[in-house]
Structure 1
């Protein structure tokens, strides 16, 4: 099994802070994540500046009618992301449109992974019930995961607790990117379905995403290095 790799989430609206974290963590993480918070505050040119040759996970979670999502993904091609996110709940046709857009707009050797977000790690069974879904998070994740992979997604974003059920249902093929990771002793913040880095690695995560436990640490470099050591020992 391939080693689990570490993505640091640069969750900030501040350009200077994002640049500082990215530079400080060079060589200590495998990729950086920029999402809605930074993108809406700073724009696409700022993403290009922060990415600057780094492996970029662009986490914008597109969710709209198929044509709009396809055009949105095409517009992101100049940023050369390694990974992009869409919502699996957008449905089969939206995912197919995303697949076609990425295949047409990106060179074959720099084509990003399309990752379908299943159930947000801030949601539990009660939160799903509130929006009319009477399944457990695990059941909903597997259902959406199967649909997304069948429709052309390369992988999935899921909580660590759903790695094993997804591997049982879909095998090793999908790339699994796992947020909601908290080293032992860290605060859970607004995450509800969490695991430690080692637990996620042993369960079969390809990538884990860690934000605040690294970026809010007094020594982000040491925090990232400790997580990498934990992954190596898993």
Structure 2
């Protein structure tokens, strides 16, 4: 797998900058992490949190899931490109024109992927709330194909859909999978989950892990155990 990332991406789902600093300080400076900065943290702190993580040598996935008219998304991506993030995303539901505009605005230095269906979305929710009357898997594969058509590098998806997506696109098409939980961990609000080892076996290229690391009694140990399971 050309795009395989050996480091689990840690979701920094904290409400304050201070909490982020305290968490990252637990790790040895030589341990270069891959972190996800989402909406809560970015809206609370702003670009400074990205700059801080990058200054420590960490890789950053800026998870803002942009979804707007093409010109607005293109302009927003021009701004995000200047932050030096390693990866960011849009919603595939915005369509081919929007995704292509996002890619153009980003300028090619940052990996751009798209969200298919959120891992909190069940087939019943999709059909009732979105009025998409296909199976969940069919919806995800359609979004993945449109993402590839737009020139993006991959998608955010459930690990359960990775094989279908790679079959419908290419083996090098990135599949980043959230909803990853160590064996025996609480599922929380995720509907479709998998262990790190299962995600690796099924072909995921990147995994995102949040609470099992950030809320662990020993976050560093929890991270290393998940990393070992992912790379086993």
- Shorter chain as normaliser: what TM range? over 0.9
Deviations 1:147-201 (A, max 9, x none): 0111111111001111111111112121111100011111111100110000000
RMSD: 1.5
Contact 2:80 2:106 in 1 (8 A): no
Contact 1:21 1:215 in 2 (8 A): yes
Higher mean displacement: 179-188 or 39-48: 39-48
* Cα distance change, pair 39–3 in 1 and its aligned pair in 2 (3 A): closer
Deviations 1:64-116 (A, max 9, x none): 0000001111111221000001000000100110111112xxxx6xx111010
- CA drift of 1:4 comes to 4.4
Equivalence for 1:84: 88
Equivalence for 1:34: 37
Quote the Cα distance in structure 2 between the aligned partners of 1:89 and 1:21: 34
Quote the Cα distance in structure 1 between the aligned partners of 2:25 and 2:134: 43
Equivalence for 2:224: 225
Equivalence for 2:48: 45
Equivalence for 2:209: 210
Contact 1:123 1:192 in 2 (8 A): yes
1:101 counterpart (99, 105, 108): 105
Equivalence for 1:12: 14
| Alignment partner of 1:54 is 2:52 | no
| Secondary structure of 1:209's aligned partner | strand
Quote the Cα distance in structure 2 between the aligned partners of 1:232 and 1:9: 19
Higher mean displacement: 18-27 or 160-169: 18-27
| Alignment partner of 1:178 is 2:173 | no
* Cα distance change, pair 7–100 in 1 and its aligned pair in 2 (3 A): same
Structure 1: any 5+ residue segments left out of the alignment?
Answer: none
Runs of 4+ more than 6 Å apart = none
Quote the Cα distance in structure 2 between the aligned partners of 1:153 and 1:186: 33
